[in-house]
Amino acid sequence: MRVTENITYDQEKSFDRLQEILDSTETFDEVTNIPHSDRLTYNNGFYINCYSIFVDIRDSSTLPEKYKKSTLAKIYRAYISEVVALFQSYERCKEINIVGDSVWAVFEFTSKADVLSVFQSAFTSVSIVKTLNYKLCHKGIDPVKIGIGIDKGQALMVRAGFKGSGINDVIYMGGVVNRASKLCNKGNKNGINEIVVSQAVYDDLQGYNGTNDVPYQNMLTRNIFEHFYHGTIFRISMNNWLTEQQHLKPCNR
């Protein structure tokens, strides 16, 4: 984020900028690997194959009525900090964004095995929030819930902003981002579990096993009406730690 300089808006220059952008000759190359954002200009873009994942706190619009502002700030900071730390630990994760209480990321797709990184990041996020809620419980604070959505597809990666101002960002355009966001919105609502994945993601999970040699696909349930899959899955090592802590220091609020 860049601090604004409060330069007077010039409508004549605005008209010229609009025309310049609309008349520009742009090149959009299809690439195998997600390029570094430094390669982006205002006149190019890249078609990439990727997984998009969204993690979002449920019922966030009602939380200011439920928690003190200082408490809510701590919850957001704790949750966002750890989800970002988790995502950035994966080599295949190429972009992380924070929008309000939502954290979303783009994971590179070059082979079917890349699904493991994004799927593991999803169920580890579940364990992060379970651990956070345990710690909140000991402070007398009600738990939070999250939804997680994952989709796979092609996106157009472009740079947008006010040229010359330093205020710009990388934008990922395409159905894969929108669909992952919509799948996330279904998570942890109306009987749907936390993690919600598209058919394409489910298909990529075929042949990959979780703990005790149980296939990841068997951990997900198909929604026959909307053709997505959902489940409550967690990271075993984190869950074992949490179970031990709950035994040593129970919290039954």
Other Cβ atoms closer than 10 A to 177? 21
Q: How confident is the model at residue 87 (pLDDT cuts 50, 70, 90)?
A: very high
Q: How confident is the model at residue 16 (pLDDT cuts 50, 70, 90)?
A: confident
Cα 197 to its chain centre, rounded Å, is 12
The pLDDT value recorded for residue 160 is: 81
Q: pLDDT over 90 for what percent of the chain?
A: 65
Overall pTM > 0.75: yes
Better pLDDT: 121 or 16:
121
Q: What is the DSSP string of 41-93?
A: -TTEEEEEEEEEEEEEETTGGGHHHHS-HHHHHHHHHHHHHHHHHHHHTSTTE
Average pLDDT along the chain: 89
Average pLDDT, integer, range 6-27: 73
Average pLDDT, integer, range 24-45: 84
Better pLDDT: 162 or 123:
123
> CATH: 3.40.47.10, 3.50.50.60, 3.40.50.880, 3.30.70.1230. Which one for 26-248?
3.30.70.1230
pLDDT digits (tens, 9 = 90+) for 145-183: 999 999 999 999 988 876 655 566 888 988 999 999 999
